[in-house]
Amino acid sequence: MTCTQVHDRATDYLERKLSIAGRFALRAHVATCRDCRAYLRQMRLTVSVLRGLGSEPVSEPMRASLLTMFRAAEAPQTAALGARAHTGFSARALAALDWLLRGSRSLAAVALLILVSLGLVAAVRAVPGAALPLGAGLMCGGMELGAGMLPLVIVAALAWRSRRPSSWAAYAVPAGLGALIAQASLHFTCPEQGMYVHLGFHLAGVGAAIMVGWLASLGQAMWTGRPARL
C-alpha cells in the first residue's frame, strides 16, 4: 500500500469499513511511514474535535466557504503524498535495513564482517616464490574498496529518495559486505600469493569500506540536519 492509498482510505479505516486484509495492509504501511502515522493522528484529532462541536446547523455560505478552505488545504497535501508514492519502496527498504541492523545487531554485523575477512586471510597459504610487489596489494585493497562503494551508493540513493535519516550501520555494513565479497572473489581467483603481508591489504580494503560507510552516515547527518540513528 502506498501513501496515496493510505490517504484515500483513512476515513474508511477510522470508521472500520475496511476489510481485514485492507486494515492489515494499511497498518503494515503505517508501521514504516512516519508521515502516514502523523496523518492518521491528525485525522483522529480532527474527528475528536468535530464530535465536540455539537450539531448546530451551518448556513450554505458558511458550508461553501469551509469546503473551499478544506479543498485548498487538502490539495498540497495530496500532491505531496502523490510525490512520495514513488519513494514508498525506498522508505520500506531502508526501514527494513535499519531493523535488521538495530542496536547491538549493528556491532555484531560489523564484527562478523571483520572476522570473516580475517578467516579468509588465514585460509590462504603462501606460495613459495617471489613476493608480490607492493603495488599488487594496493590494487587488491583498492578493488575491494571500490566494490564496497556499489552497495553504499545504493543505500545513499534510497536515503535520498525517501528523505529519512538512517542508522550508521545501514551505510557501513553494506559497504563492508561488498568489499568482503570482492575479497573472497580475489582469494579464489588469484593464482598465487607470494607473501602474507600482501593479504593484509585485503583486510584493509574491507575495513576501509566500513569506515567510508560510517563517514557517509556523518555526511547524511550534515545533509539532513539530523544525526544518524544508532
pLDDT band of 86, cuts 50, 70, 90: very low
| Separation in Å, CA 154 to CA 57, 73, 144, 174 | 56, 35, 16, 9
Computed over every residue of the chain, the mean pLDDT equals: 78
What is the pLDDT, as a whole number, of residue 7? Answer: 82
- 122 or 189, which is more confident? 122
N residues, the chain: 230
Using only the alpha carbons of the chain, give its radius of gyration: 26
16 secondary structure, DSSP code: T
Sign of CA dihedral 55, 56, 59, 61: negative
Average pLDDT over residues 85-94: 70
Select the more confidently predicted residue: 92 or 72: 92
Half-sphere exposure of 192 (CA within 13 A, CB side): 9
pLDDT bin (cut points 50, 70, 90) of residue 228 is: low
Neighbours of 135 (CB within 10 A): 8
* CB 198 within 8 Å of CB 137: yes
Helix (H, G, I), strand (E, B) or coil at 177: helix
The whole-number pLDDT of residue 70 equals 65
| Share above pLDDT 90 across residues of the chain, in percent, rounded to a whole number | 14
Nearest to 34 by CA among 91, 77, 72: 91
